[in-house]
Amino acid sequence: DIRRVSVPDIRARKGGEPIVALTAYHAHMARLVDPHCDILLVGDSLGMVAQGLESTVPVTLDLMILQGQAVVRGSRRALVAVDLPFGSYEESPEAAFRTAARVLKETGCTAVKLEGGVGMAETIRFLVARGVPVIGHVGLTPQAINQLGSFRARGRDEAERQLIAADARAVAEAGAFCVVIEAVAEPLAADITRALAVPTIGIGASAACDGQILVLEDMLGLSERVPRFVKRYAELGRAVGEAVGSYAAEVRARAFPSAAHTYGGPRPSGPEQGL
């Protein structure tokens, strides 16, 4: 039985070998990504990526738990963390604990992530003291879209940079075992990384961060539009279009299924054998 990456393992990576993290929402993708990653995040970005929502605000706790279960089942090595969705934790430390306890008990994941800085420090301290490992998330916090007005990068003026740095310090001092820094000016992310005792995980941040995370569908080329900070490592969207186009043409031409893909014809050989 392979032991999963643990919270102390991640903490120990401060200033060391970079932490590799990706989002995952489904068992099949978790299985493919798990061997390469230290952390799989069941991000609430799934609302926008997989459900067609315009923001993460409507994402429900029940949905996060269902997808969290799928990712835990599909993986065995990486630490699985699940985002607490908007409205499920902000009201009080007690509400956050009830939510986090449901997530840990019902999914079997190791940690939760929640957005916010100084204002969430008390909640993070409350959770950590009660056995809930927490990943912080500062800079661009998409659940605050209604207040922010856009998903543009943060930390472009000195006042905003001071606030973001204070947020990062507050969540780290409250006991978060690592901190996601999203869409901030590069030097700020590097400064925060130097200032914190726990690892930072950048997304649109800096190569100096202690690790990196991207939304899997974005880096695979499955998303229609992606932020500037995304590097597309594959063009799976194009591959899907080509595969489905071939299938559609063969169905219309009655070229599929051929004898090899029907019962009673010649015995199939190859990967379909026995199915």
SS3 content of the chain, % helix, strand, coil (to 5): 45, 15, 45
Q: Look-up: residue for tokens 């543009």?
A: 152
224 as an active site residue: the answer is no
Q: How far apart are CA 137 and CA 124, in angstroms?
A: 11
Verify binding: residue 81, ligand KIV, rule CB under 6 A: no
Q: How far apart are CA 275 and CA 268, in angstroms?
A: 10
Rg of the Cα trace of the chain?
21
Chain positions 189 to 218 lying near ligand KIV, rule: CB under 6 A, are: 203, 213, 215
Active-site residue among 94, 160, 182, 272? 182
Verify binding: residue 83, Na ion, rule CB under 5 A: yes
Question: At 102, phi and psi to the nearest 5?
Answer: -60, -45
Q: Is 83 annotated as a binding residue?
A: yes
Verify binding: residue 64, ligand KIV, rule CB under 6 A: no
Verify binding: residue 59, ligand KIV, rule CB under 6 A: no
Residue 152: partners with Cβ closer than 8 Å, 6 or more residues away: 140, 183
Token pair belonging to 94:
């007690």
Residue (63 or 213) nearer to ligand KIV, CB: 213
Verify binding: residue 112, ligand KIV, rule CB under 6 A: no
Q: Is 44 annotated as a binding residue?
A: yes
Q: How far apart are CA 18 and CA 204, in angstroms?
A: 15
Terminal alpha carbon distance of the chain: 28
The item of ligand KIV, Na ion, none sharing an interface with residue 222, based on CB under 5 to 8 Å by kind, is none
Residue (84 or 185) nearer to ligand KIV, CB: 84
Smallest gap from residue 44 Cβ to ligand KIV (A): 5
Binding region for 3-methyl-2-oxobutanoate = 44-45, 83, 113
Binding region = 44-45, 83, 113, 115
Residues classed as catalytic: 182
